[in-house]
Amino acid sequence: MKYEAKDYTRLLGTQGFSDTLLNNHFTLYKGYVDNTNKLMEELKQLESSGKMQTPHYSELHRRFGWEFNGMRLHEYYFDNMIKTKSEPSKSFELYKKMELEFGGFENWKKEFSAVGAMRGIGWAILYLDSMTGNLFNVWVNEHDAGHLSGGTPLLVLDVFEHAFILDYGLKRADYIQAFFNAVSWEEVNNRYDRAHAKAGAVKH
């Protein structure tokens, strides 16, 4: 089954993000989708021809995680954005969990922002540990290194330079603030509710 790039043109006009930056980002995302499909096809051809012990086969498999995660992380990122500014409701289960673990939403936001502002390129991700229900703000280097095993991404922030440098230059902190103004907290909380229910964790 081939993957299809999602249409995120609904985000055009989002305050703090120029249409040029967003369209460039959508094109880059589509490249990950296309490359994921190409790798799947090439691997299938090598498998059908009995060439699974070749260096080429091994390298394609190693590359697959990069392309697939590049595709999926961008989908998490764009899916957790919205054009109209929203605030997390105090009634959200995720908000209550943040209060419990971080001493308040603003404390959590400060920590997440600090992770996103770290030197280097990568992703800042709020993870739910499916084993314990704990929340972690995590730095993911590249696309395929640094993920928490068994963790569910709840909020994903792209801090590769292509996500902000056209609009913000080196002012990453300004980009992160613009991102927070565009977060769909309803989507993020829904991710938490689904993952929490699936894990069978006790809600607080």
Would you call 203 helix, strand, or coil by DSSP?
Answer: coil
What are the CA-CA distances from residue 154 to residues 131, 137, 160, 193 (Å)? 15, 10, 19, 10
Higher pLDDT, 51 or 158: 158
Strands (E), the chain: 122-129, 135-141, 151-158
**pLDDT above 70 coverage of the chain, percent:** 98
State both tokens at 8: 């995120």
Confidence class of residue 196 from pLDDT cuts 50, 70 and 90? confident
pLDDT digits (tens, 9 = 90+) for 48-102: 999 889 999 999 999 999 999 999 999 999 999 999 898 999 999 999 999 999 9
State both tokens at 154: 């709840």
What is the chain's alpha carbon radius of gyration, rounded to the nearest angstrom? 18
Please report the pLDDT score of residue 201 as a whole number: 44
Q: Which of 184, 5, 161 is nearest to 81 (CA)?
A: 184
* Average pLDDT score over residue span 174-194: 97
pLDDT digits (tens, 9 = 90+) for 125-153: 999 998 999 999 999 998 988 899 999 99
pTM listed for this prediction = 0.93
> What's the one-letter identity of residue 74?
H
Mean of the per-residue pLDDT values of the chain: 94
Tell me if 166 sits within 8 A of 73, measured CB to CB: no
Contacts of 183 (CB under 8 A, 6+ apart): 80, 81, 82, 86, 155
| Cα distance between residue 6 and residue 44, in whole Å | 24
The owner of tokens 């060439």 is 51
* Average pLDDT score over residue span 151-174: 97
Check whether 195 has a pLDDT greater than 60: yes
